Amino acid sequence: MRTIYVGRKPVHSYVAAVLRAMQDGDREVEIIARGNAMRTAIDAAEICRRRNGKIAGLLPEEMVNNGVEISTEEIEVEGSIRVLSSIKILLEGIGEMPEDSEE
């Protein structure tokens, strides 16, 4: 299973990372984000699941959400404790990938 950590890049960077994982043979991917990056992680997962757009259209025939885990992490920042929410989204690609996915 490949793990993709979401940060400040545009959402399609993470969709492309999911596609690369699928092309490399990892049909299960976990997308992990915390704090403000959770929105980007959810958007990326939904674009992949719906296979919206040019990049996501190259994903396997069916993308399944195998679960979402949410949690809270305590992180020490500059001498104080900060509480950050986090999310882990599990995606699985089922079926064949379109033939034009090879570059």
For domain 2-95, the CATH class is: alpha beta
Give the per-residue pLDDT at 97.
Answer: 87
- The packing angle between helices 38-50 and 11-23, to 10°, is 50
Pairing of strands 2-5, 28-34: parallel
pLDDT (tens digit per residue) in 73-87:
998 988 999 999 999
Q: Helices in 1-103 by DSSP H: which ranges?
A: 11-23, 38-50, 53-56
SS3 call for 59:
coil
Location of structure tokens 């993308």: 63
Q: Both tokens of residue 99?
A: 């033939």
SS3 call for 35:
helix
Task: Report domain extents, the chain.
Answer: 2-95
Q: Identify how many contiguous H helices and E strands the chain contains and give both numbers.
A: 3, 4
Give the pLDDT band of residue 101 (cuts 50, 70, 90).
very low
